Structure 1
Amino acid sequence: MAVNQSIAFVANTSWSIYKFRLYLIERLLRQGFAIYVLAPRDPYTEKFEHLIGLTYIELTHFHGKSISPLEDYLLYRELLSHYRTLKPRLIFHYTVKANLYGTRAAARAGIPSISVITGLGYTFSGEGWLQHAVRTAYRRQLQKSSEVWFLNSDDREFFITRGLVRPEKTFLLPGEGVDAAYFYPAPYQQRTEITFLLIGRLIRHKGIYEFVAAARSLQKQGLAVRCQLLGFFDDNNPVAIPRKEIEEWTARNLVTWLGHTDDVRPFIEQADCVVLPSYREGMPLSLLEGASMCKALIATDTAGCRAIVEEGVNGYLCREKDGADLAQKMVAYYHLPPMAKRQMGIEGRNQVLQHYTRERVVAIYLEKISILRGHE
């Protein structure tokens, strides 16, 4: 395999490679590219490291939650060493530390790279020293990227208006891509009890507390509803929801925690509406997967979510950090006639097919890779 046919993907977890980008990597392998994946080892590594044409390299100094300058420097040196040895023709970086230290290392090694901003997260919420430090670092390091990709226009505008990146370097990618055949259209079922499903990590910024407050409001109104949580505990996250609180909510029949799974389809199929009152997203896959399966959506009128939900067409938008407003939107969906509920799901599916399929995302990657290689 020629050197100029090699591409590296760098992320903070092997899980994110498996969950969001494995289909893209498999397509690139079929196209004849050699692929390097650099990420920490976790239970998902073994799901792709055996692929022919793919070389997995474990990153031992990538600690996503750490704010140690020494660990960050060691990560930069580790990445630089790998880049100089592997000499990939192009590198894709995902998440904050990969974008910062990976981009710096790629520039030092003389290799073009693309920074993909998959979401801003809690490191951009607020005006503390950490937020200031991250923005300053982004402003410095993104100058060295060939391009900077965003998953929604709000995040791109945030970076541009604050001088973190030049507009001509930016590109808008329509999400991570949905397999519309895998997330099949679920037949509409008219039920006497309506199920609202929230899929996501069990952290405060996913709007978990607002969802529980809304569930409590609907329960007090005597509505026949079930409110479900599907996702894993992110115990090391500074905004993690304590397990004890989830257990208390379940004991009081406010919500039901369904655990964590790699196959969310059966749970989406049994739900009526997918809810995500998140404070901010890149391009939430749970909403896209729900829409692909013809489910109505209720989400926050904020970055990432508002790009997917069209008010009154395929769902409703609620105010950020407002459990009462979320409850009102859930009640509005509850009282819709059956055919209106069904039509919302159909509209969501059509939107996915038009804008957010994996085929569309793969085509964009291939076109961009071709253009960037043509500029060498």
Structure 2
Amino acid sequence: MKILVLANFGMGLYNFRKELLVALIKQNHEVYVSLPNDEYVPKLEDLGCKFIDTPVSRRGTNPLTDLKLLLNYKKITKSVKPDVVLTYTIKPNVYGGLACRLAKVPFIANITGLGTAVENGGLLQKITFALYKIALKKAKCVFFQNQENKELLIKKGIIKGNYNIIPGSGVNLNHYSLLDYPSDDTTNFLFISRVMKEKGIDQYLDAATYIRGKYSNTVFHIVGFCEGAYEDKLKEMHEKGIIKYHGKQNDVRVFQKKSHCTIHPTYYPEGMSNVLLESAASGRPIITTNKAGCREIVDNGINGFLVEQQNSQDLIDKIEKFIKLDYEEKKEMGLNGRRKVVKEFDRGIVITSYLKEIERVLIN
């Protein structure tokens, strides 16, 4: 059978869906991936995928650009003639869903998060909901990554058919294996994310400034691509020794190995945080926001702590609470996180859910 996958960038598809793509190829399906050309495309092709170069403006709101994407998806579905289409993220879900509906091609959507357009309300939210309602009406299945997203779209009358909750993208428990917990002569905190306001970078920097001033044996690391607005600030704080900024990295396990705790104070509308899943799988305690897509991964006080959104003082309090734990308590928190993801967030659960739905579509 021919399976077409619509995504908005290669890194996400390769890092979080690779195992599913491999499973489909092993079942002798032809797998086509439609996304913008980037450094991950050769890796996807090495898996056996057939690449279709498709420009996607991930955060743009230009209606002409979006119309062009819809027409591209319509052209691709006509050319490939897929038996089923898998869509990920907002624009592939919406415009890919519309293209599939027009072509009467079955598709399975994955709500990886509703995005800032929905979170911020207003006209853009209304437009987004209207597009979702049209696009997802004929979806064979809609996968949600958290309960809150599911309940909202049901409440708005957008989802009425077959839907399921899956544990985010899951986590590859072999790739993110349990790491030895480092000695605590120095306590290393780790922020892994795109450096942007909605990911809670301001709260992290506030906390780093206060905690470093009070506890000299702490280090605050930052790993991730930096948006322009924060470049000068990070450089200045790095030079002052308040933080250590490592830039974008291809393998975060190097930094998780020496980290004692991952801090993720995001208030971005996540589906399910991969940063937290990978950190917990590695045996690292986590401090994160009490928000959908994050709170599901934390049993408060057991494998980490929850903090209020955009509340620097609460974050500082929780970091101090963590610092005051003894070594064995910190280590046990990390082990509790590993146990939780093994039980609830194994990527195999996600793959099984997809294979089951794809089989149901192909049989019918």
Secondary structure at the aligned position of 2:5 is classed as strand
Q: Match for 2:316: what amino acid? A: A
Once the two structures are aligned, what percentage of the paired residues are identical? 30
Match of 1:259 in 2: 247
Cα distance, 1:164 vs structure 2: 2.5
Q: Is the 8 A contact 2:193 2:225 kept in 1?
A: yes
**Corresponding position: 1:307 with 2:296:** yes
Q: Distance in 2 between the 1:173 and 1:360 partners?
A: 8
Secondary structure at the aligned position of 1:145 is classed as coil
Cα distance, 1:35 vs structure 2: 0.3
Q: Distance in 2 between the 1:242 and 1:128 partners?
A: 27
Match of 1:238 in 2: none
Counterpart among 234, 240, 256 of residue 246 in structure 1? 234
Q: Match for 1:19: what amino acid? A: N
Q: Is the 8 A contact 1:104 1:144 kept in 2?
A: no
Q: Deviations over 1:324-351 (max 9, x none)?
A: 1011111111110111111111110011
Secondary structure at the aligned position of 2:45 is classed as coil
Match of 2:260 in 1: 272
Secondary structure at the aligned position of 1:298 is classed as strand
Q: Is the 8 A contact 1:201 1:231 kept in 2?
A: yes
Match of 2:45 in 1: 49
Q: Deviations over 1:181-204 (max 9, x none)?
A: 221211123312111101111111
Q: Where do 5+ consecutive residues of structure 1 fail to align?
A: 236-240
Match of 1:217 in 2: 210
Distance 1:125 1:267, change over 3 A: same
**Corresponding position: 1:286 with 2:275:** yes
Q: Is the 8 A contact 2:117 2:125 kept in 1?
A: yes
TM-score by length of 1: 0.93
Match of 2:155 in 1: 161
Counterpart among 341, 349, 352 of residue 352 in structure 1? 341
Cα distance, 1:17 vs structure 2: 1.3
**Corresponding position: 1:177 with 2:170:** yes
Match of 1:196 in 2: 189
**Corresponding position: 1:316 with 2:305:** yes
Cα distance, 1:315 vs structure 2: 0.4
Match of 1:231 in 2: 224
Q: Is the 8 A contact 2:74 2:100 kept in 1?
A: yes
**Corresponding position: 1:206 with 2:202:** no
Match of 2:180 in 1: 187
Match of 2:104 in 1: 110
Q: Where do 5+ consecutive residues of structure 2 fail to align?
A: none
TM-score by length of 2: 0.96
Counterpart among 322, 327, 339 of residue 338 in structure 1? 327
Q: Deviations over 1:95-150 (max 9, x none)?
A: 11111111010011110111111112322221232222212211222212222111
